[in-house]
Every structure is written in C-alpha cells, then in structure tokens.
C-alpha cells in the first residue's frame, strides 16, 4: 500500500461494488489525488449472476474478480469500517486503524430486508453474498441426496421463492431448470420437485410493462413453476410459508427475494428514508466531502420517487462522483447528477427473457441473447468471461448435467 504524497487529496472509497469501483477508476489517473478503496472482501462480486451460483449453473470463481486486479493504480485496504466521523473527516477500521480523508465515497450497497415478517430472518435463505448463494446451492443439491438416502421427506424437494422482482423471477426460472436437469440423476424423485413464486403485488416485474410482466409469468409457468400474485406472506416456519389468504406452502428450501435496504449502520450519518438510504443533494453529496452513491443513496428521479437500487444507477453515480471530486480538486464548479435510464432486463431461463430499452421491447430468444451479451460485457476479467460463456454453452447443450460444482460439506 503506497502512502499519499504531501499535498495529495486523500479520497477513501468504501465498497468495491459497481459504484465504488467506478468512482475509484475515475479518480485513479488524476494527478494529486490518492485513492484508497476499502472492502471486507478482496474480490469484486458480480451480483447480477449470484443467482446462478445459488442454483449450480456457475462456480463462485466465475463471478468473483480480484479487487487489486480490477483497479491497478489504486490502493486497496481489506477491512470492515466500524465508524465514520464526518466532522473530523476520518474513519476507523475494525483492526483499530484510523484513516483520514479529504473526500469519502460511501458505496456500501444493500442488504436483504424482511419487512418485519415473523420467521423470515430465521427460516428463509437470502441471496446478497457469496456465502448466502453457496448455502442455497448446497441446500438445493444436498436435499436430493438426503431424500435418496431416506433422511428427509420427499416434500422437501418443493422450493418457495418469495418476491416477484427480477431476482425472484431469475431464481425461480433457474430452480425450475435445475429441477428439470435433476430428472436424469434422480428419476424417481423428479415428480416430487416443484417451485412456487410468491408475489405480494398484482403482477411480476412491476417496473416493466404489463405485457412483459404477463410474458414473464407465462414463461415461468411453461417451465413448470407455480406463480402466485396478490399473495402476501403472513409468517414463516422452517418448512412452511403461511400466506395471508390462509394457504400454507410446504417447502424444503425457502428463498427470500422480496426486497432490499441500505445498511442500517450508516443511516445515522444523515437523513435516511425508510430503506435506510441517505438523502443526498443533487450533486450526490451528504455533507462537504462526503459522497453517497448506489444503493446507499436516496435521490429523487424525474417521477418524484427515489432512483431504483440497481447496478446502472450505482455505476453512473460512481462515475459522476469521481468527476465531482476531480472538479473540486481543480477548483471547478460541481454539476448535478442526472440518471440516464438505458432500460431494464430480466432473464427467465434458456431462450427466455424480457428486455425493455428506449421504447424497444424484446421477449424470448432476442431478449435472452441481449441479456447474455450485456452480462458478459460487464464481467471483470477475461478468464471469468471465457469461463462463464463456456458454462452457459455447456448448460444449453446438455441442460446442465455434469456442470454443477461438487458440494463439499
């Protein structure tokens, strides 16, 4: 780790996600600015493909890339930030180190939220980290082995996914395809496997058009999934999901994909909304020299609602804040952040996806190919891209048989 030279502007970036990396890269080649990126993990996690690790389609190495390799010219410090002092302009790491800053970029992302539904935290599996994805994968695959050996009831092959946003839809489609592929390995158990998607609202993918939402629902049902809309979860037990309608869904694996919130730890730094997101000005500044980006930031869009907690917003914010800090350093005026909505997409399964961008709506194979291409483009590292494409090609040809990583307890 290199020390800042005397007179350098010291910039600390917390979080090596999409926003944090973009901010660090934007600043990395600017004379007179010393950037240190801090994260608890030494790798960048490509979160949009986390669900494929959770369902055995990709290995963990495919979506993780060394932070140091991703940001040459930027210092990286592995650690947990436990305190931020915006007045004294320093922060403390878990190991006791105190780092001063002239500018701080908070890009800590989000975590799952249970909305206070009883039993969710104790009994559902969430999917925001590599460890959580690994737990889902192990549970899904080990269940077959345990039932085959007579250690668990066949009903535990049922899977319930709660949340009809892009993550919930993608997980449900991937689980449905996994269950299809497992027919070859466990033919006697195939009839007991099922997946149910539960959405509290009137339709899936509420941020998409009604036509795309209906298409997604139809495609999931064609894969064999059961889709319930206007179905709110009332409470949850280890193998039961209780709906407000009175229906009880039995399942061996319960995945909670119903919502996210910013980390509560930093909500006290300023005025936070109900999702713990800090309200920032139009320059993305919380206070002088403290910038908030990505899922941690609450900024109203043209429709009067906070910008969505998605990767494109974080990336654009990261680039903008990098330019803002450079402008301050050079004595130039700041500019307001304007989000450019480039569209949205969600995959459902092989040759099944929905894409909406700039008035263009794609469904089926064209949408699926667009989804594949965009995700490969944004993956960090050539090896990762080659490995992901190879795995996808293999899964497409043989329905994933033999491609899943071995589960080691």
Over residues 230-246, the pLDDT tens digits come to 999 999 999 999 999 99
Write the CATH number of the domain with boundaries 9-112+261-329.
3.50.50.60
Q: What is the C-alpha to C-alpha distance for residues 210 and 204, in angstroms, rounded to an integer? A: 9
At 301-343, the pLDDT tens digits run 988 889 999 999 999 999 999 999 999 999 999 999 999 998 9
pTM of the model: 0.91
Q: What is the C-alpha to C-alpha distance for residues 67 and 75, in angstroms, rounded to an integer? A: 10
Q: What is the C-alpha to C-alpha distance for residues 264 and 337, in angstroms, rounded to an integer? A: 25
Q: Where in the chain is the domain with CATH 3.50.50.60?
A: 9-112+261-329, 120-258
Write the CATH number of the domain with boundaries 120-258.
3.50.50.60
At 129-147, the pLDDT tens digits run 999 999 999 999 999 999 9
Q: What is the C-alpha to C-alpha distance for residues 17 and 66, in angstroms, rounded to an integer? A: 12
3-state secondary structure 96-154: CCEEECCEEEECCCEEECCCCCCCHHHHCECCCCHHHHHHHHHHHHHHHHHHHCCCCCH
**Banded pLDDT at 276 (limits 50, 70, 90):** very high
Bridge pairing between strands 352-357 and 360-363: antiparallel
Mean pLDDT of 51-55: 93
- Which pLDDT score is estimated for 384? 79
**Banded pLDDT at 3 (limits 50, 70, 90):** low
Residue 120: pLDDT over 90:
yes
Share of the chain above pLDDT 90, in %: 78
**Banded pLDDT at 113 (limits 50, 70, 90):** very high
- Which pLDDT score is estimated for 407? 54
The position carrying tokens 């908070």 is: 106
Angle separating helix axes 166-185 and 130-148, nearest 10 degrees: 30
- Which pLDDT score is estimated for 1? 58
- Which pLDDT score is estimated for 350? 87
Beta bridge partners of 90: 85, 100
Bridge pairing between strands 226-228 and 194-198: parallel
Mean pLDDT of the residues in the chain: 92
- Which pLDDT score is estimated for 136? 96
**Banded pLDDT at 387 (limits 50, 70, 90):** confident
Helix, strand, coil share of the chain (percent; to 5): 35, 25, 40
Q: What is the C-alpha to C-alpha distance for residues 8 and 33, in angstroms, rounded to an integer? A: 5
| DSSP state letter for 263 | -
- Which pLDDT score is estimated for 399? 60
Share of the chain above pLDDT 70, in %: 96
At 156-189, the pLDDT tens digits run 999 999 999 999 999 999 999 999 989 888 999 9
Cα–Cα distance list, 216 to 82, 162, 350 (Å): 42, 16, 13
Residue 198: pLDDT over 90:
yes
Q: Give the angle 374-138-199 at the CA atoms, nearest 5°.
A: 60
- Which pLDDT score is estimated for 402? 46
- Which pLDDT score is estimated for 7? 75
Q: What is the C-alpha to C-alpha distance for residues 358 and 350, in angstroms, rounded to an integer? A: 24
């Amino acid at each position: 780790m290199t020390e800042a030279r005397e007179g350098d502007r010291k910039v600390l970036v917390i979080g090596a996600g999409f926003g944090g990396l973009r901010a660090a890269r934007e600043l990395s080649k600017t004379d007179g600015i010393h950037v240190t990126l801090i994260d608890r993990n030494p790798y960048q996690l490509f979160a949009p493909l986390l669900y494929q690790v959770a369902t055995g389609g990709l290995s963990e190495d495919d979506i993780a890339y060394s932070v140091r390799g991703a940001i040459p010219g930027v210092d990286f410090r592995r650690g947990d930030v436990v305190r931020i002092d915006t007045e004294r302009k320093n922060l403390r790491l878990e190991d006791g180190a105190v780092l001063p800053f002239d500018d701080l970029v908070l890009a800590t992302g989000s975590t799952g939220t249970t909305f206070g539904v009883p039993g969710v935290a104790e009994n559902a599996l969430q999917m925001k980290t590599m460890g959580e994805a690994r737990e889902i994968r192990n549970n899904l695959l080990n269940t077959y082995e345990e039932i085959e050996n007579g250690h668990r009831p066949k009903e535990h092959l049922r899977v319930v996914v709660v949340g009809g946003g892009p993550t919930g839809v993608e997980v449900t489609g991937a689980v449905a395809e996994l269950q299809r592929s497992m027919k070859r390995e466990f033919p006697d158990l195939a009839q007991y496997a099922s997946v149910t998607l539960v959405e509290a609202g009137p339709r899936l993918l509420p941020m998409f058009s009604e036509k795309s939402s209906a298409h997604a629902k139809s495609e999931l049902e064609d894969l064999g999934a059961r889709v319930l809309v206007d179905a709110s979860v009332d409470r949850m037990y280890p193998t039961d999901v209780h709906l407000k309608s009175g229906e009880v869904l039995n399942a061996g694996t319960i995945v909670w994909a119903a919502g996210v919130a910013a980390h509560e730890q930093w909500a006290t730094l300023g005025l936070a909304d109900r999702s713990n997101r800090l309200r920032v000005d139009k320059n993305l500044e919380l206070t002088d020299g403290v910038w908030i980006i990505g899922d941690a930031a609450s900024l109203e869009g043209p429709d009067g609602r906070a910008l969505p907690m998605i990767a494109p917003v974080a990336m654009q914010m990261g680039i903008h804040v990098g330019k803002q800090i450079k402008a301050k350093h050079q004595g130039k005026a700041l500019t307001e952040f304007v989000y450019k909505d480039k569209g949205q997409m969600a995959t459902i399964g092989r040759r099944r996806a929905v894409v909406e961008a700039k008035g263009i709506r794609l469904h089926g194979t064209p949408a699926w190919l667009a989804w594949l291409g965009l995700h490969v483009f944004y993956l960090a590292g050539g090896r990762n891209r080659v490995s992901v494409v190879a795995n996808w090609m293999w899964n497409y040809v043989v329905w994933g048989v033999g491609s899943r990583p071995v589960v080691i307890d």
